[in-house]
Amino acid sequence: MNQGIAALSFLGVTFGIVMSLLIAGRILRVRARVESPLKHRPYECGEEPEGMAWMQFHARYYLVALFFVLFDVEAVFLFPWSTVIRSLGTSTLIEVVAFVLVLMIGWLYGMRKGALKWQ
């Protein structure tokens, strides 16, 4: 049995269920008798909406994203290694420790610099 095709078929069923829920909602939903433009205004706790919400991000999130990319790439490199670790032996383990160590020095530097400190 092809497991990849089974997974795709499962995802197809998932998509079908989600779409049928949407369609059920479309059939059953109540329509407004009187349309009001106020209903389609962004909700700001009853205040008049002030400008658009689409604005620039706080730089803090940019730093978190940068850290994430670093460590996620590390994880991507470690995953292939993790399955064949037994056949590769101790020398590879030392190499991986060196690789992780370089990254963790960067992590330590960032933490010392207060890269994620909230102020």
Q: Point out which residues bind another protein (CB under 8 A).
A: 1-15, 17-19, 21-22, 24-26, 28-32, 37, 39-45, 52-55, 57-58, 60-61, 64-65, 67-68, 71-72, 75, 78-79, 82-86, 89-90, 93, 96-97, 100, 104, 107, 111, 116, 118
Give least dist CB 104 to another protein, A.
Answer: 7
Give me the residue label for tokens 């370089």: 102
Q: Which residues contact 118 (CB under 8 A, 6 or more apart)?
A: 60
C-alpha 44, offset from chain centre: 27
DSSP 41: S
Give least dist CB 76 to another protein, A.
Answer: 9
CB–CB of 41/49 below 8 Å?
Answer: yes
Give least dist CB 22 to another protein, A.
Answer: 6
